[in-house]
Amino acid sequence: MIAAFLDSTAAMIVLTGVLVGVSGALLGTFLVLGGRAMLTDAISHAIVFGIIVVWLLTRQMAGPVQVIGAAAAGMLTVLLSEALARTRLVRTDAAIGLVFPALFSAGVILIALNARNVHIDTESVLLGEIGFVWLETVTVAGLRVPVAVLTLAAVLAVNLAFVLGFWKELKLATFDPVLAAALGFAPGLMFHALLALTSVTAVAAFDAVGAVLFIAFVIVPPATGFLLTRRVGRMAGLAVGLAAASAGAGYALAVRWDVSIAGMMALMTGVFFTLALLLAPDQGLIARALHLRAERAANDARTLVAHLFTHQHTAAMDAENTARALIEHLRWPEARARAAILSGLDRDLVRREGPLLWLTEKGQAMARGIFDPAGRGTG
């Protein structure tokens, strides 16, 4: 059964996507919460510079030296960005935007000048070839296992151990680095360890899935989870689940429509984010629109009650306590005035007597609360 699973091309492609997605989402949860998500983009592009520099020094295209070199290039991006931001001549986001294109461009130029005949394809680095991960295998306990699956499974184990082992420290360093430093939790060390793991994960992922899909997995599922909950544990769980679902759904749709697998997986992260953006119960656009509509209706009801209370039993009542007065004097559109009156009738705040609008006892109590919220009386 295990052998059949490992021999399935579809299963290995989806498993590779799931491993990258879960690894990225775990780390991305804290990067998104800390407002440093775009460092992922910088790291993912800068590793091209590390790859070509290591090749120039060692002539090695794979192995631990390449991983260390590429990861070091990612960390170099972070350190240079921080150093540039500390000058206070540019903002942090601008510093990132200056450093990583420079390193990526330097890497591309070095490839063009020194490695024309070497298989270092910058397009493959960005987009990956997840559809071919099943071709390169090694034998483990008599089973042929894709190298990408083994590598990414090891990276996921390390990332998971780090997040679970330093869960409390990561949360405190993310939300209150000053308090974390006061308690001796070394928030700077936590941050750089997180980015170091992000660099290693990017290096492990780029050959299989490319930088674009890796960035999507690190940023979009955690951002989606943030729309659905404000609890870090639930957010991380949702991010992991959404990343895995994006990998599975993306593969199925890519096969059905004969399009890029990595591209469709990345697109599915965006689809889930869009659904959450629209439908999230508290933070979604629809929920917010309904909340604003209800809030506006409540404010209109208060304005209606206050207006009627002001003119009730006065000489101006016949002119002011009518629907026409709301339109002409309050300058409400007719539809808004009608909706406010209907709401007042439904809530038993007002009653009609011909063209006149009268406050009920409930409406008068509401009006007294508006004009005298402390309950001292109006007389």
Choose the final residue of a domain: 227, 256, 283.
Answer: 283
> Cα–Cα distance between 66 and 141 in angstroms, integer?
26
**C-alpha distance across the termini of the chain, in Å:** 85
> Cα–Cα distance between 366 and 359 in angstroms, integer?
10
Q: Is residue 336 domain-shared with residue 261, that is, in the same domain?
A: no
- Residue 353's domain comprises 286-371
Choose the final residue of a domain: 230, 263, 283.
Answer: 283
Q: What is the pLDDT of residue 67?
A: 75
Q: Is residue 31 part of a domain?
A: yes
Question: pLDDT per position in the chain (379 positions), as tens?
Answer: 888 998 999 999 999 999 999 999 999 999 999 988 888 888 887 888 887 888 888 877 666 777 788 788 888 888 898 899 889 888 888 888 888 889 888 888 887 787 666 555 555 555 567 888 888 899 988 899 999 999 999 999 999 999 999 999 999 999 998 888 888 888 989 999 999 899 889 888 876 787 788 999 999 999 999 999 999 999 999 999 999 999 999 999 999 999 989 889 999 999 999 999 999 998 899 999 999 999 999 999 999 999 999 998 899 999 999 999 999 988 999 999 999 999 999 999 999 999 999 999 999 999 999 987 655 544 4
Q: Which two tokens mark 198? A: 């992000």
DSSP string, 134-162: TTSEEEETTEEEEHHHHHHHHHHHHHHHH
Task: Find the CATH number of the domain harbouring 351.
Answer: 1.10.10.10
Q: Is residue 259 domain-shared with residue 318, that is, in the same domain?
A: no
Q: Is residue 379 part of a domain?
A: no
Q: Which two tokens mark 246? A: 């994006």
Count of domains for the chain: 2
Q: What is the pLDDT of residue 161?
A: 98
Q: Is residue 378 part of a domain?
A: no
What stretches of the chain show up as alpha helix (H) in DSSP?
2-7, 9-33, 39-58, 64-86, 92-114, 122-127, 147-165, 167-175, 177-182, 187-228, 232-257, 261-279, 285-311, 317-320, 323-328, 334-346, 361-371
Q: What is the pLDDT of residue 374?
A: 58
> Cα–Cα distance between 369 and 138 in angstroms, integer?
77
